[in-house]
């Protein structure tokens, strides 16, 4: 495009971080791309924050292969800056957050609903702006900053689905959270808001004290007690609901900790958790219900936001905040295991 004098008009460009050629932190590159424009049923979102999940880490290091130049990160929070002609549910200035599964609106999951995964099979939110269908977003909770809202679409919704939607948690029941990552701490907060008694595992005395300050009944150090599941069973008589975050590395002990007729939601594979062994007689003689889940739908996310608004829950964010150009540093910090709560980037 040129103006009458013959001078070229510089097209406005936004910054993104994409995964170049091969996975690895050295291949997370900042690049410029043209600013997006919406179609009739789309909106343009200016992003201000994202947060780290183990899924994002696996994408970055190549544990989950993605298309070359894919934009990573499944969490995003920002503001709508442009709307398409047919958009009715959003207006410029609305504060919104992303969906992990942008096509899963409601109901039970199907292949068609979960084939689109933010930051994996479609571009994620490590970008200054994105154009999205108007249905691929929800509002953020009231009185939330963008940084706070960015903790919710993956970790928050997984905890909500596991406890409230899938698990049908009731007041007075017991819940076990494992570790002090963002999902576990949001699970703690949702469980406490529902009137549950919460137990936890962690790796240090310092983290144990912080968990107790948040209302955890008792904490077991899994590094000092390899059979922490049996310890928790003896302590409690068996736990009603367990959010298992480690997969093969934790499931055996989760089964030990569960009560007869208890419920285990499998939601993660931290560490070396892709494969593992379990004691099957313990599983079925305890009459345990076990279900695997992956995040949740837009309808669930809207329910979660309503509950957050009513209970005025605020996410726990790690003290170390990263900037847009520090994504590799943030992943390295995540790998260190030093964090307490969600690791976020804001810009």
Q: Determine the pLDDT at residue 2.
A: 45
What's the whole-number mean pLDDT along residues 278-292?
A: 91
Strands 77-83 and 129-133, bridge-based pairing: unpaired
Going by their DSSP bridges, the two strands 77-83 and 197-202 should be labelled as unpaired
13-155+296-346 folds as Quinone Oxidoreductase; Chain A, domain 1 (3.90.180)
DSSP 11: P
When mean pLDDT is compared across 79-88, 154-163, 258-267, 275-284, the lowest value belongs to 275-284
pLDDT value of position 8: 53
Report phi then psi at 219, rounded to 5.
-130, 140
Phi then psi for residue 159, to 5 deg, are -65, -45
The residue-averaged pLDDT of 285-311 equals: 97
Tell me what the mean pLDDT of segment 6-34 comes to. Answer: 82
Query: Could you tell me where in the chain the CATH 3.40.50.720 domains are found?
Result: 167-292
**244 CB-contact burial (10 Å; exposed 0-12 / middle 13-18 / buried 19+):** buried
Mean pLDDT of 96-106: 98
3-state secondary structure (DSSP) of residue 306:
helix
Class of the 167-292 domain? Answer: alpha beta
Distance, CA of 224 to CA of 308 (rounded, Å):
35
Dist. CA 283–CA 229, nearest whole Å: 13
Determine whether 8 is exposed, middle or buried from the number of CB atoms within 10 Å of its CB (0-12, 13-18, 19+): exposed
Looking at residue 274, its pLDDT comes to 77
147 phi and psi, to 5 degrees? Answer: -65, -45
Segment 273-283 shows an average pLDDT of: 81
- Looking at the chain, which residues constitute the CATH 3.90.180.10 domain(s)? 13-155+296-346
Tokens 């970790």 correspond to: 155
CA quadruple 325, 103, 242, 142: dihedral positive or negative? positive
């Amino acid at each position: 495009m040129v103006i009458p004098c013959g001078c070229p008009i510089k097209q406005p460009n936004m910054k993104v971080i994409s995964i170049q050629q091969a996975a690895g932190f050295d291949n997370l590159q900042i690049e410029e791309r043209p600013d997006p424009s919406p179609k009739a049923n789309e909106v343009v979102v200016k992003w201000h924050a994202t947060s780290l999940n183990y899924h994002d880490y696996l994408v970055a290091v190549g544990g989950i292969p993605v298309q070359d130049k894919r934009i990573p990160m499944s969490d995003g929070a920002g503001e709508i800056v442009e709307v398409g002609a047919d958009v009715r549910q959003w207006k410029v200035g609305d504060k919104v957050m992303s969906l992990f599964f942008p096509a899963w609106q409601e109901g039970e999951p199907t292949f068609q609903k979960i084939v689109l995964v933010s930051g994996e099979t479609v571009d994620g939110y490590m970008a200054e702006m994105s154009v999205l269908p108007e249905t691929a977003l929800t509002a953020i909770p009231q009185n939330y900053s963008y940084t706070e809202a960015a903790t919710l679409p993956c970790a928050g919704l997984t905890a909500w689905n596991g406890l409230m939607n899938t698990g049908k948690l009731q007041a007075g029941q017991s819940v076990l959270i494992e570790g002090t990552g963002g999902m576990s701490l949001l699970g703690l907060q949702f469980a406490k808001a529902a009137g549950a008694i919460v137990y936890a595992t962690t790796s240090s005395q310092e983290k144990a004290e912080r968990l107790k300050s948040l209302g955890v009944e008792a904490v077991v150090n899994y590094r000092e007690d390899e059979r922490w599941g049996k310890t928790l069973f003896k302590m409690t008589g068996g736990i009603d609901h367990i959010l298992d975050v480690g997969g093969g590395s934790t499931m055996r002990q989760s089964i030990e900790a569960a009560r007869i007729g208890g419920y285990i939601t499998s939601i993660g594979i931290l560490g070396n958790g892709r494969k593992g062994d379990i004691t099957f007689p313990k599983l079925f003689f305890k009459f345990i219900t076990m279900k695997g889940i992956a995040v949740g739908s837009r309808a669930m996310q809207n329910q979660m936001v309503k509950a957050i608004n009513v209970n005025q829950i605020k996410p726990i964010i790690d003290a170390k905040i990263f900037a847009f150009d520090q994504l590799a540093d943030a992943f390295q910090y995540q790998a260190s295991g030093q964090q307490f709560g969600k690791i976020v980037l804001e810009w």
